[in-house]
Homo-oligomer: A and B are copies of this chain.
Amino acid sequence: MTANKLTIVVDAMGGDDAPGSIVAGARLAVERDGQQVILVGDPDRMGDTGDLEVIPASQVIEMGAEPASAVRRLKDSSIIRAAEAVRDGRGAALLSAGNTGAAMAASLLRMGRIRGVARPAIAVPYPVPGSTPTIVLDCGANAECSADWLVQFAVLGIVYSRARYGVSRPRVGVLTIGEEEGKGNKLVKEVCALFDAYNWDAVDAQHVGNIEGRDLLHGTADVVVTDGFTGNVVLKSLEGAFAVFEQSVNEAFAASSALKEQSSTIASTVQPVYDRFDPTLAGAAVLLGVRGTSLISHGSSSPATIAHAIGTAESIASLDLIGKIRDTFRET
């Protein structure tokens, strides 16, 4: 079984608790789940890496560093070396919990763009109870977008929705502030005009019009496009909201003396709900549009989260998204 797994290249130095929690998560994925992992980082700082293969890299791009200049300056950084390893075919996907901008820039610079894709976008699957996730993009790669990029993001999302979740004719919408045609800011209005004119049949998808924020977790669409500023603010707002909500629910139960004896049953009942909305478990963020599979995990990722994300990276790498995106952009 192990022999069938694709190899995942992990940036061991990226993350709030790197390299400790990253190495621990990678070892968990290998030793428990039978994954194949290559770690990239400073051997002197990584501690016990077990039997895992290590690609040495002497530099680190810190979480707060300015990405564009850092990736140009720090050519022996773990994220650059990791992106090169995927480019060179040593692994099938890159996983980083480090500086998101640096992971994007390293992927773009070292793996390259897929021909015809103007800009890569970060795609995040939003959980929809009882249904397949809604893929939202761009969740942060491009703070400023032009309307035609959002049409391309839609196509990237369509390919992803079909390949990963088996959605046969993905429903596509634009995130905006009202259901009625014509509601939105300047960018959204331009995108709506392009969407109305676009031949969705050619990409085997359907246009379902405007999507409001409250629809995101309701499965109203399979793919929702937005600019990377709005997408990132919404993603982080929901992450923060779920965390506060969970904490408030837990505190309410902890304060109830009547439910004291049931506390462990209550905890095990709500935990699956928390997990369902946990952004670190929901499926990881994928950078679509580059010529390699590149996943971005939360900076605060625990070893368990990293192990889970390695499994996600392996299953996404096996989808051949790059080939499918390349074919779609060649044809349209």
Which of A33-41, A70-78, A227-235 interfaces with chain B?
A: A227-235
Candidates B143, B214, B232, B273; contact of A213 at CB < 8 Å: B232
Q: Please measure, in the bound complex, the distance between the C-alpha atom of A271 and the C-alpha atom of B292, giving whole angstroms.
A: 47
Given A229-B230, A259-B269, A214 and B240 contact (CB-CB distance below 8 Å): yes
- Copies of this protein chain in the complex: 2
Candidates B66, B180, B241; contact of A241 at CB < 8 Å: B241
Chain A 62-108 residues near chain B, CB threshold 8 A: 64, 66
Q: Please measure, in the bound complex, the distance between the C-alpha atom of A194 and the C-alpha atom of B238, giving whole angstroms.
A: 28
| Count class of interface residues, chain A | 35 or more
Are B244 and A273 in contact, CB atoms less than 8 angstroms apart?
no
Contact with B along A151-179 (1 / 0, CB 8 A): 00000000000000000000000011100
Given A64-B180, A237-B237, A238-B237, A244 and B218 contact (CB-CB distance below 8 Å): yes
Are B249 and A249 in contact, CB atoms less than 8 angstroms apart?
yes
Given A245-B277, A252-B269, A252-B272, A177 and B239 contact (CB-CB distance below 8 Å): no
Are A232 and B177 in contact, CB atoms less than 8 angstroms apart?
yes
Please name the residue on chain B nearest to A231 by beta carbon: B177
B-side contacts of A273, CB under 8 Å: 245, 248-249, 252
Chain A 262-279 residues near chain B, CB threshold 8 A: 262, 265-266, 269-270, 272-273, 276-277
Q: Is the interface of A mostly helix, strand, loop or mixed?
A: helix
Q: Does A19 contact B (CB under 8 A)?
A: no
Q: Does A203 contact B (CB under 8 A)?
A: no
Given A143-B185, A175-B233, A252-B273, A245 and B243 contact (CB-CB distance below 8 Å): no
Candidates B235, B245, B253, B265; contact of A242 at CB < 8 Å: B245
9 new A-B contacts at CB < 8 Å, known A248-B276, A249-B249, A256-B265: A64-B180, A143-B183, A143-B185, A144-B185, A213-B239, A213-B240, A226-B233, A230-B230, A256-B269
Interface residues of A (CB under 8 A from B): 64, 66, 129, 140, 143-144, 175-177, 180, 182-186, 188, 212-218, 226-230, 232-245, 247-249, 251-253, 256, 258-259, 262, 265-266, 269-270, 272-273, 276-277
Minimum-distance CB pairs A-B, first 8: A214-B240, A213-B236, A213-B237, A177-B232, A185-B229, A217-B244, A214-B236, A143-B185
